[in-house]
């Protein structure tokens, strides 16, 4: 008997599955994806000349910020997950989407209700039944069962839609996490770059102070003019002002890091540590892998799948809805006979509902669902194209900045040598202090440019890791 029931259940499930209306889902194709008929490109265009990571692992794994080998950055990144309030908002949305699956799935099963009633009744004295003034009690213990047979797959598609929305929410959560981690890393390296710039300006102020003292000594000795003293003083004051201005911007980054790690700005302190490291080698991989590694692409693809289910839900409205209901229980005139066998009653039967004419409402709903699907497909493809662009942008930025950094280092060395020569000529009385000021300005400009190039290279490395998905992949999506 149990075997027959099992076979009947399997047969019913297969029948219901075969009756599901609406299009089957097929993942949309995008340029450079393996689903395209043409051969995908072997690598990113801008990766030519890019120094790949050794050993040749094609993907970032684990905690991507550890590539930078900075213990303080590692410690700060670990604080983003537990403390950041923006991340908690996304996490709450993720839990809502997970609960929505349970809510949709409950519609697969019968709904059982219990509604006991006890009433005392009196018939009107003017009732046409001739029972005027009759009084009686009514004791009812009804149990009702209703079940939507879901012949056309409306409920199953609703469940699938909720599951795909849940997966999209999971990818959105990972994307928000990656955004926040990236923002923290960028802010951290910005602050460290400003530390390096402040250290440079501090050293420059000391050097300019010595130059001012030298000029004053020469003036007191009758060798230099008062104008040269004023020029040296002006140069020193301008540099001190620049040093103070750096502190303003640095404080803003410190406050931002504090908020990202869930702390009030007044409670967070970031000790000074000048940025002196080189960017790490980042494993890039190939374009086709990017579709599996970016959480925003995964979220967009899951939204396409969810929109596909909406088309099926809209089309199911064209077919009859079969509801099976059953009601039974006990009813008596007093508490004495209420719970006895003769008080039993029951009723069971199917109910079919079908809309005959609705002036195009259901057809419009299908068109709305189809348009929504088309929009999600376009969004998915655009998200993928944007991801490819971001990788190419950061690859080219890193490659070009590396070349620029080498040239800037040569320019800085030349400017510092020129300053030293000018200072020696000034000490020997061969030139005025104006030549020294010019050399000082040139040297400082080049030194600050070199510091800024290190910052830009570090930021581009962080952005490249973000563009590659930060070590995430679609295998981490929950199944729901």
CATH tag, 110-148+320-353: 2.20.200.10
pTM beyond 0.85: no
* Of 396, 416, 408, 449, the residue nearest 193 (C-alpha): 449
Whole-angstrom Cα Rg for the chain: 37
pLDDT tens across 282-337, in order?
A: 888 777 788 889 999 999 999 999 999 999 999 999 999 989 999 999 999 888 88
Q: Which residues, 6+ apart, have CB-to-CB distance to 221 below 8 Å?
A: none
Question: Domain-by-domain residue ranges, the chain?
Answer: 17-108+151-319+361-476, 110-148+320-353
Say which residue, 442 or 128, is predicted with more confidence.
442
* Of 113, 111, 129, the residue nearest 121 (C-alpha): 129
Q: What is the pLDDT of residue 471?
A: 86
CATH tag, 17-108+151-319+361-476: 1.20.1600.10
pLDDT tens across 249-287, in order?
A: 999 999 999 999 999 999 999 999 999 888 988 888 777
User: Is it the case that residue 58 has pLDDT exceeding 80?
Assistant: no
* Of 258, 256, 263, 85, the residue nearest 176 (C-alpha): 85
**Distance in angstroms (rounded) separating the CA atoms of residues 480 and 468:** 26
Reported for 260-269, long-range contacts at CB under 8 A and 24+ positions apart, including other chains, are: 260/80, 260/84, 260/180, 260/183, 260/184, 260/187, 261/76, 261/79, 261/80, 261/83, 261/84, 261/184, 262/79, 262/80, 262/82, 262/83, 262/84, 262/85, 263/83
Instruction: Find out whether 199 and 276 touch, Cβ atoms under 8 Å.
Output: no
**Distance in angstroms (rounded) separating the CA atoms of residues 380 and 385:** 9
């Amino acid at each position: 008997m149990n075997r027959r029931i099992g076979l009947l259940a399997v047969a019913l499930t297969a029948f219901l599955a075969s009756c599901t209306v609406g299009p089957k889902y097929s993942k949309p194709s995008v340029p450079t994806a393996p689903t395209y008929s043409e051969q995908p490109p072997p690598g990113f265009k801008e990766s030519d000349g890019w120094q790949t990571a050794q050993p040749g692992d094609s993907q970032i794994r684990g905690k991507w910020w550890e590539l930078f080998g900075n213990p303080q950055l590692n410690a700060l990144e670990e604080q983003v997950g537990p403390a950041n309030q923006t991340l908690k908002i996304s996490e709450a949305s993720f839990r809502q989407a997970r609960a929505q699956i349970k809510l949709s799935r409950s519609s697969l099963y019968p709904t059982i209700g219990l509604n006991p009633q006890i009433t005392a009744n009196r018939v009107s004295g003017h009732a046409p039944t001739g029972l005027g003034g009759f009084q009686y009690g009514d004791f009812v213990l009804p149990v009702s069962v209703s079940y939507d047979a879901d012949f056309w797959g409306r409920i199953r598609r609703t469940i699938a839609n909720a599951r795909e929305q849940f997966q999209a929410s999971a990818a959105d959560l990972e994307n928000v996490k990656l955004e926040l981690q990236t923002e923290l890393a960028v802010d951290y390296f910005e602050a460290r770059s400003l530390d390096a710039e402040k250290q440079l300006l501090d050293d420059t102020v000391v050097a300019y102070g010595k130059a001012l003292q030298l000029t004053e000594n020469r003036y007191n000795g009758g060798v230099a003019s008062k104008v040269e003293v004023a020029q040296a003083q002006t140069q020193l004051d301008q540099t001190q002002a620049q040093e103070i201005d750096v502190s303003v911007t640095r404080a803003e980054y410190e406050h931002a890091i504090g908020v990202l790690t869930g702390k009030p700005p007044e409670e967070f302190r970031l000790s000074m540590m000048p940025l002196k490291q080189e960017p790490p080698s980042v494993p890039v991989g190939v374009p086709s892998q990017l579709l599996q590694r970016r959480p925003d692409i995964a979220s967009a693809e899951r939204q396409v799948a969810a929109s596909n289910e909406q088309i099926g839900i809209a089309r199911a409205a064209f077919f009859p809805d079969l509801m099976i209901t059953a009601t039974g229980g006990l009813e008596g005139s007093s508490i004495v006979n209420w719970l006895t066998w003769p008080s039993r009653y029951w009723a069971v039967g199917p109910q079919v509902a079908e809309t005959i004419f609705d002036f195009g409402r259901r057809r419009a709903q299908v068109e709305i669902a189809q348009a929504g699907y088309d929009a999600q497909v376009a969004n998915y493809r655009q998200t993928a194209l944007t991801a490819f662009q971001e990788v190419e942008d950061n690859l080219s930025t890193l490659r070009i900045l590396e070349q620029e950094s080498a040239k800037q280092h040569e320019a800085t060395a030349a400017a510092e040598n020129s300053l030293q020569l000018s200072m020696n000529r000034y000490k020997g009385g061969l030139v005025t202090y104006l030549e020294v000021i010019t050399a000082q300005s040139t040297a400082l400009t080049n030194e600050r440019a070199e510091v800024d190039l290190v910052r830009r290279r570090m930021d581009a490395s962080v952005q490249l890791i973000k563009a590659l998905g930060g070590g995430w992949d679609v295998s981490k999506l929950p199944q729901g």
